[in-house]
Structure 1
Amino acid sequence: MKYYRLFILFIVMIASNAVKAQENNAGAIWPVLGKNDTIRVAATNDNGYMIPWIGLNEVVINGQRIWHSAAEQAAFNRLRYNVLKVMPYALYAKRRYEKLESDLATVSDKKDQKRLVKECDNEIKNMFNTEIKELTITQGQILTKLIDRELGRTTYDIVKQTKGGFAAFSYQLIARVVGHNLKNTYNPTEDRDIESIIVNSGYYQ
């Protein structure tokens, strides 16, 4: 009986809201429609006047960049080359670690979790041995930033989560020797040139 009363109350509330909405719109002033006004759109009651509207997708407008010198333009072109060079690796890392997290969420056995982590680690190592090891120091630095951009976590944090604190510390020491920093973070404001390159690269269209 208790649930029956709640159900009746729920129906009454819905009905009263519907009646109220009809009353609010009954005396509203609607715009005069032309012969070509055949598309149904949403409308908002603004002090008695029904204002039709339609949602639009976000439009990003980028101005024409003005270079102060040939050297500045050359530096940007180098940055663009490096960003586009490593962006696929950052996207791959994002997809692979998202899959790892999804897989880990489905198993509770510690051995199975270690196996999944090891498989992911081996895939990353294979890619490193075949491709990433050829990156320059600058490209490696950009890659660590982009991984933070895509995953919301630094490379150091990812290694620490999957391999443990000691492994993360060891990898960081090795990285620092060759000029990298696994703790590099991404800031869209400070790295606005990189952000501009990525936005205009077509990766997210």
Structure 2
Amino acid sequence: MKYSCFFILLIVILAITKVNAQETTTPAIYPVLGKNDTIRVAATNDNGYMIPWIGLNEVVINGNRIWKSPQEKAYFNRLRYNVLKVMPYALFAKRRYEQLERELSTTNDKKEQKKLVKACDAEIKQMFNTEIKELTITQGQILTKLIDREVGRTTYDIVKQTKGGFAAFSYQLVARVVGHNLKTTYSATEDRDIESIIVNSGYYQ
């Protein structure tokens, strides 16, 4: 039984090798070009025939939203204002956190790493003291979600990694007092209105 299985496997391997050899030795058939066919395009070999093709940019089609009530429209417009208000801060957090990770990866010296983390923390605190502290509770909650969306980690996880578990726990206690939750995550499905606003905001064009 073992020898028969080995024999069958050998036949399959030889058959595959033969097919591959035929594919590589068979000359490709290209389409006949006209005098105006001067644009170079990609092509795919389909059983010996070269099929030309051109990649197109993604086209997003959005329909006009029908509001159930003036209140629903007013809510969405307010949400849009809040999202666009805090989106630059989320993008800043993303860039600064990515920069910190790159800098930390260049050194194994603990003192140098602490210095880099401290510099990042000071920069974020400066922005907080000048701008973020003026945000409303709703805007702060949205910002927490957007940081998770952009960085791929919650604010709590970021603080825990850079400043330690006790600092993250302490920050979370303070945040909960004023109605925030640093562990808030983002879901493109559950937060579809926010996702729609971001997609149509022009930030990623």
Q: Which interval holds the TM-score relative to the shorter structure?
A: 0.7 to 0.9
Does 1:24 find its partner at 2:27? yes
Alignment of 1:8-157 (within 5 A): 21=24, 23-25=26-28, 28=29, 30-157=30-157
**Residue aligning to 2:196:** 196
Q: CA shift at 1:18, angstroms?
A: 11
How many Å separate the matches in 2 of 1:162 and 1:185?
19
How many Å separate the matches in 2 of 1:156 and 1:165?
9
> For each residue in 1:29-87, what CA deviation from the matched residue of structure 2 results, as whole angstroms up to 9, or x when unmatched?
x4343332221222223344432111122222212211111111111100000000000
Q: CA shift at 1:20, angstroms?
A: 5.7
**Residue aligning to 2:181:** 181
Taking only the aligned residue pairs, the percentage that are identical comes to 83
2:41–2:53 contact (8 Å) kept in structure 1: yes
- Give the number of aligned pairs: 186
Q: TM-score of the superposition, structure 1-length normalised?
A: 0.84
Q: CA shift at 1:21, angstroms?
A: 4.2
The one-letter amino acid paired with 1:83 is V
Give the secondary structure class of the aligned counterpart of 1:50.
Answer: strand
**Residue aligning to 1:168:** 168
The one-letter amino acid paired with 1:34 is G
Q: CA shift at 1:149, angstroms?
A: 0.5
Unpaired runs of at least 5, structure 1: 1-16
How many Å separate the matches in 1 of 2:142 and 2:195?
11
Across the aligned residues of Structure 1 and Structure 2, the Cα RMSD in angstroms comes to: 1.9
Q: CA shift at 1:104, angstroms?
A: 1.0
The one-letter amino acid paired with 1:199 is V
Unpaired runs of at least 5, structure 2: 1-19
The one-letter amino acid paired with 1:152 is G
Give the secondary structure class of the aligned counterpart of 2:121.
Answer: helix
Q: TM-score of the superposition, structure 2-length normalised?
A: 0.84
How many Å separate the matches in 1 of 2:72 and 2:27?
61
